[in-house]
Structure 1
Amino acid sequence: MDRRELAAFLRSRRERISPAEAGLPAGPRRRTPGLRREETAQLAFISTEYYTRLEQARAPRPSREVLAGLARALRLSDAERDHLHHLAGAPPAPAAGPSREVRQSILDLLSRLPQAAAMVISATYEVIAWNDLAAALMEDFSALPPRDRNLVRRVFLGPYPQGRRLYGVSDAGAFARTSARHLRATAARYPDDPGVARLVSELLAGSAEFARLWASHDVCDAPSLRKTFQHPLVGPVTVNCDVLDITDRDQRVVIYTAAPGSPSEEALRLLAVIGTQRMDVTG
């Protein structure tokens, strides 16, 4: 535990937060920038005396519960929270399971891509955020429970209405291979997560194809950069596929765009108008 650095870090983080940001009244005669010590302690659910001793480099090592309260009270970023743990001599524990929390900046990005179908998938291939065009191209994910938003479950276990495996996409077989290999790597990163274990068990029991791929022990594959969706309303839609890694959350942003001036670009424009109101065929 580096008491002096911890004290300086806490003080610097406290002084940068205005009372309004913390939901507190500013009040008259504030002589200190940012929050007062007693306000920070209140927000962190610890005693003012103990917090004061932390800033004076006189306190014993804080528990993980105290560190969590301080991180919340001081509105720390992920990197700052990890730094706080290291200064306190309690390195942050690895994530128990894949994160399903999407940063607001990523959600804003999706909404700012009106001509592209974009979504965020977790390390287990669950669709955890999407924009309107992605819902129109694939399906209305908001109408599904989280379990049914999982793309690896869908590609191996269905359903496949009218023979449309994974929304009728042209590379469904390649996607199946890639997703199985990525899922094996995910299972190694999160060996204690029951959700990952349940998903793997379900796929092994329900899909001979998945069981064969799983038995290969392969953990990487090249993604498809171009694919065609067989859409029930507008027909084939050929798109470029770009994937952006969000490494700190173990998530990926998937963006589908059509070539400018192509029939597929016109199809995406039509889907943007149709939306999900007539999407009565899914799969």
Structure 2
Amino acid sequence: MDRRELAAFLRSRRERITPADVGLPAGSRRRTPGLRREEAAQLAFISTEYYTRLEQARAPRPSREVLAGLARALRLSDAERDHLHHLAGAPPGPPPGPSREVRQSILDLLRRLPQSAAFVISATYEVIAWNDLAAALMEDFSALSRRDRNLVRRAFLGPHPQGRRLFGVSDADDFARIAAQDLRAAAARYPDDPEVAALVAELVGGSAEFARLWSSHNVSAELTLRKTFQNPLVGPVTVNCDVLDITDRDQRVVIYTADPGSPSEEALRLLSVVGTQRMDVPR
């Protein structure tokens, strides 16, 4: 355990986080940049005294549970989490849950595809980044809570406006089956993640269809390479579907494009104009 480096690393990570980042009031008499020690300790579910001793290089080696709490509280990236473990003399194990951190280069890629609807999903089918055209074609994800951005939950539990499942896409039933099989594989990769377990329990309890698919124990599924969306503004939009794996993050980039010169390409072009005016960019 490198106490001095660990102390300096924790201090630097704490000082870069603003109270607003974690939902705390800034206050008018705040003298320290970023969070106060007691605030970081509270977020990590440890005592202020112990956290202070960590930053003063006087504390004993933290447990893996404490390290996990510190990583969450200080909003560490995957690389920073691994570095924290190495400084504490506890080499990191596998990630506790699916990564939601999208590389900046991927975010830049989404913005550079103005004529393609593109988004990123986590291992549990949560939409974690998107471009304007994806929001215009499907839904304004920026207006949804994190919970409602999960496409598996959306497919099985709704809402289904006007009786249309999953944005009225033509392969909604096939998508639901594939997503259920993918989620079973993800649950095996992250057996200790409470969010994955809670999602599975919610789906099994709320959807007989999902419960049936889950009980089949199937984990392999074919991809649908072409589908049609029923968009309320421009009508049917037929797109080709390409999926790029980001293996180190266990994420996927989904890209929808229309055939050149087709009515669907013109529809996407119209949506790209409307979408840029009214939809938020990926966050």
Distance apart, 1:257 and its partner CA:
0.6
Superposed CA offset, 1:87-126 (max 9, x none): 9964322111111111111111111110100001111111
Q: What does 1:31-46 align with in structure 2 at a 5 Å threshold?
A: none
Per the alignment, in what secondary structure is the counterpart of residue 195 of structure 2?
A: helix
Per the alignment, in what secondary structure is the counterpart of residue 221 of structure 2?
A: coil
Partner Cα distance (1:250, 1:134) in 2: 21
Distance apart, 1:63 and its partner CA:
8.7
TM-score by length of 2: 0.70
Asked if structure 1 preserves the Cα contact closer than 8 Å seen for 2:77 and 2:101, the reply is: no
Distance apart, 1:147 and its partner CA:
0.5
Which residue number corresponds to residue 263 of structure 2? 263
Partner Cα distance (2:268, 2:228) in 1: 12
Per the alignment, in what secondary structure is the counterpart of residue 223 of structure 2?
A: coil
Which residue number corresponds to residue 95 of structure 1? 95
Q: Percent identity?
A: 80
Over 3 Å counting, the alpha-carbon distance change for 1:277 and 1:165 in structure 2 is: farther
Q: What code does the residue aligned with 1:130 have?
A: W
Superposed CA offset, 1:9-64 (max 9, x none): x9xxxxxxxxxxxx9xxxxxxxxxxxxxxxxxxxxx867xx8xxxxxxxxxx9998
Q: What runs of 5+ residues in structure 1 fail to find an aligned partner? A: 4-9, 11-22, 24-44, 51-60, 70-75
Which residue number corresponds to residue 251 of structure 1? 251
Q: What code does the residue aligned with 2:99 have?
A: S
Partner Cα distance (2:221, 2:273) in 1: 35
Superposed CA offset, 1:224-256 (max 9, x none): 111110111111111111111111111111110
Q: What runs of 5+ residues in structure 2 fail to find an aligned partner? A: 6-15, 17-53, 71-75
Which residue number corresponds to residue 36 of structure 1? none
Q: Is 1:119 matched up with 2:108?
A: no
Over 3 Å counting, the alpha-carbon distance change for 1:248 and 1:241 in structure 2 is: same
Asked if structure 2 preserves the Cα contact closer than 8 Å seen for 1:139 and 1:276, the reply is: no
Partner Cα distance (2:169, 2:103) in 1: 28
**Runs ≥4 in structure 1, deviation > 4 angstroms?**
61-66, 76-89, 276-279
Q: What code does the residue aligned with 1:132 have?
A: D
Partner Cα distance (2:97, 2:230) in 1: 34
Partner Cα distance (2:124, 2:77) in 1: 24
Q: What does 1:160-171 align with in structure 2 at a 5 Å threshold?
A: 160-171=160-171
Over 3 Å counting, the alpha-carbon distance change for 1:84 and 1:194 in structure 2 is: closer
CA RMSD, 1 decimal: 3.8
Partner Cα distance (1:232, 1:211) in 2: 31
